[in-house]
């Protein structure tokens, strides 16, 4: 039940593409994942173009390389247009971008026009184009399937600045790889021990690792052996982060396995396999199958799943294993993937519901943590976006810069989803704190039009209508506990509130009491007349 070190290293090979007799070749991403692909091209000092399909747009895209380093790509990505990046990085004002866009004639790109207008220097333009290329290439690390075409050719972009490939690989793995992808890429190496080679000390600065990764990297650079589990136990480390760093260095061929990877004692392995098959057949709660509590966080679910996935990895089985056992392990491995997905869906629902409830109770820090976890698990929607923005504002302070950033974010969300009552309520509060009472009143009215049950919106509207400031409020507007919203009527913010003793029920009581008193007076009068006669 062994997988040799040579077999593990061979999976990272990449065809040579700079030979004169081999000017073009194809690579399947299923065989050579993006980190290995970029590092392989860097190692070969590849110059030319990489072509692939962008499924979302249905177009063929290109990445230009010089000496193994990317320089330019036409990959499409929201928010990565040159003008957007220039404004976001405060390199160019919005007015200069608008003026340059009016001069586009199909012959000169936007960057050239900005340089000619004096809005950008050539050096700043080159730096912006490099940042644009790096940002767009991160999307390629999310790809797991597809055919890459590599064409070697002379460099025709001499003025472009190259992207740091090692930093790109680090950022790509960190931002686009989840636990499943890391586990699959490392394969049988997941449960083994590693030792860094001399290249790590020479190139570690190029990766731009985080400061908190120092203890883990220092331990590896010392030449000591370690497994992912051992690295995860170090200060400021976690299993997810340790796996990311190991994957980055593994793809860049700076880690070497120190021994053959052994699955385990066969008798014990078979007992564990049978136990897991029994739990799966029983169709238990997914968290129970994985072995975590029902309220376990997503990271705890992933951590427990990773251990089981490493235990029942069919790729760690040796060639001497019979087909029946290999099939059983494969079935368990596939079932565990489904169990993890079910556990994460369950956790998503719990975090979203609990986060919104706690937001309504004003428990901002806990609510924000749960909502951010829900977003990391795939929660989407304008209600979640608005609640997260509001929670961030409540926990980070309400200075004017924070208020303006929150207002801009709410405006963007409501421009796309204008029917979110809570979003208009939050917007009204922010406007009120900024001193824009008239706009705040309009936002509160819009919230009430969408949901007349929002009693907090009614209260705030009365306050701003009287010239008072918006008061501190719960993060989610409270609703009246009726089953259905009452019919909409004209809103009268200046109408004085009705006293509770003037309700229809009390009015009926007043009438009945008056009638009884009148009857008693009449009876008393009649009885006195009888007595006189």
SS3 string of 393-432? HHHHCCCHHHHHHHHHHHHHHHHHCCCCHHHHHHHHHHHH
Element (H or E) spanning 236, and its range?
Answer: none
Sign of the alpha-carbon dihedral angle for 285, 290, 291, 293: negative
Output the six-digit token pair for 138.
């991160």
Q: What pLDDT, on a 0 to 100 scale, did the predictor assign at position 488?
A: 39
Output the six-digit token pair for 416.
């796309």
Q: How far is CA 189 from CA 1, 172, 179, 183, 515, in A?
A: 13, 20, 15, 9, 92
- CATH fold of the domain at 380-497: 1.25.40
The C-alpha atoms of residue 124 and residue 215 are separated, in whole angstroms, by 36
Q: What pLDDT, on a 0 to 100 scale, did the predictor assign at position 5?
A: 28
Say which CATH class 266-357 falls into.
mainly alpha
- pLDDT tens across the length of the chain (533 residues): 323 322 323 334 444 444 434 467 888 888 889 999 999 999 888 889 999 999 888 899 999 999 899 999 999 998 888 888 888 888 888 899 899 888 888 788 888 899 899 998 998 999 999 999 999 999 999 998 899 999 888 766 667 899 999 999 999 999 999 877 888 778 767 777 888 988 898 999 999 999 999 989 989 888 888 888 889 888 888 888 999 999 999 999 898 877 544 444 677 888 888 888 888 888 778 888 888 888 888 878 877 887 787 778 776 676 677 888 888 988 988 888 888 888 888 888 888 888 888 887 788 888 888 888 888 777 778 888 888 888 888 887 778 888 888 888 888 888 888 888 888 888 888 888 888 888 888 888 898 888 888 888 888 888 888 877 776 554 445 555 544 444 433 334 344 444 444 556 656 776 787 788 888 877 776 766 555 54
3-state helix, strand, coil in the chain (%, to 5): 60, 10, 30
Q: How far is CA 197 from CA 165, 212, 256, 261, in A?
A: 19, 22, 7, 19
Q: What pLDDT, on a 0 to 100 scale, did the predictor assign at position 8?
A: 28
Q: What is the pTM of this model?
A: 0.54
Q: Following DSSP, what letter does each residue of 458-485 receive, concatenated?
A: HHHHHHHHTTPPPPP--SS--B-S-SSP
End-to-end alpha carbon distance in the chain: 123
Under 8 Å between Cβ of 246 and 228: yes
Q: What pLDDT, on a 0 to 100 scale, did the predictor assign at position 479?
A: 56
Q: What pLDDT, on a 0 to 100 scale, did the predictor assign at position 530?
A: 55
Neighbouring-strand partners of residue 51? 62, 149
Provide the 8-state DSSP code for 163. Answer: P
The C-alpha atoms of residue 61 and residue 50 are separated, in whole angstroms, by 8
Give the start-to-end residue ranges of the domains of the chain. Answer: 6-166, 181-262, 266-357, 380-497, 499-533
């Amino acid at each position: 039940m062994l997988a040799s070190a040579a077999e593990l290293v061979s999976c990272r090979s990449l065809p040579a593409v700079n030979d004169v007799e081999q000017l073009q070749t194809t690579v399947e991403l299923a065989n050579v994942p993006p980190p290995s692909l970029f590092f392989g091209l860097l190692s070969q000092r590849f110059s030319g173009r990489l072509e692939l399909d962008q499924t979302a747009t249905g177009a063929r895209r290109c990445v230009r390389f010089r000496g193994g380093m990317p320089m330019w790509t036409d990959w499409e990505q929201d928010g990565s247009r040159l003008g957007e990046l220039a404004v976001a990085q405060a390199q160019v004002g919005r007015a200069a971008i608008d003026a340059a866009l009016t001069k586009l004639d199909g012959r000169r790109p936007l960057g050239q026009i900005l340089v000619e207008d004096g809005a950008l220097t050539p050096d700043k333009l080159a730096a912006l184009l490099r940042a644009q290329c790096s940002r767009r290439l991160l999307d390629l690390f999310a790809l797991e399937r597809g055919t890459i075409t590599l064409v070697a050719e002379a460099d025709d972009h001499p003025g472009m600045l190259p992207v740091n490939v090692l930093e790109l690989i680090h950022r790509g793995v960190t931002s686009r790889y989840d636990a499943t992808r890391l586990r699959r890429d490392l394969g049988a190496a997941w449960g083994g021990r590693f030792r860094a080679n001399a290249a790590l000390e020479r190139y570690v600065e190029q990766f731009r690792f985080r400061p908190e990764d120092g203890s883990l990297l220092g331990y590896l650079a010392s030449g000591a052996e370690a497994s992912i589990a051992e690295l995860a136990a170090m200060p400021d480390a976690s299993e997810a982060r340790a796996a990311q760093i190991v994957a980055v260095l593994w793809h860049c061929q700076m880690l070497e396995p120190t021994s053959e990877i052994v699955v385990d004692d066969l008798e014990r392995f078979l007992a564990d396999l049978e136990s897991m098959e029994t739990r799966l057949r029983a169709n238990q709660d997914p968290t129970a199958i994985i072995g975590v509590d029902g309220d376990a966080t997503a990271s705890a679910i992933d951590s427990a799943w990773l251990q089981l996935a490493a235990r029942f990895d069919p790729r760690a089985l040796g060639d001497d294993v019979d087909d029946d056992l290999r099939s059983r392990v494969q079935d368990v491995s596939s079932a565990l993937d489904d169990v993890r997905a079910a556990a994460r869906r369950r956790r998503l629902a719990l975090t979203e519901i609990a986060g919104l409830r706690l937001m309504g109770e004003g428990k901002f820090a806990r609510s924000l943590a749960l909502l951010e976890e829900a977003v990391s698990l795939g929660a989407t929607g304008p209600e979640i976006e608005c609640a997260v923005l509001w929670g961030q504002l409540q926990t980070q302070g309400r200075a004017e810069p924070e208020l303006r950033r929150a207002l801009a974010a709410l405006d963007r969300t409501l421009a796309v989803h204008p029917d979110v009552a809570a979003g208009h309520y939050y917007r009204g509060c922010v406007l009120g704190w900024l001193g824009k009472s008239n706009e705040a009143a309009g936002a509160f009215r819009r919230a009430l039009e969408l949901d007349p049950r929002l009693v907090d919106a009614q209260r705030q509207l009365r306050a701003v209508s009287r010239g008072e400031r918006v008061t501190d409020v719960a993060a989610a507007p409270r609703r009246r506990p009726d089953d259905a919203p009452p019919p909409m009527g004209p809103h009268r913010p200046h109408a004085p509130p009705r006293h509770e003793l003037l309700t229809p029920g009390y009015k009926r009581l007043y009438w009945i009491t008056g009638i009884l008193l009148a009857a008693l007076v009449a009876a008393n009068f009649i009885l006195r007349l009888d007595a006189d006669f």
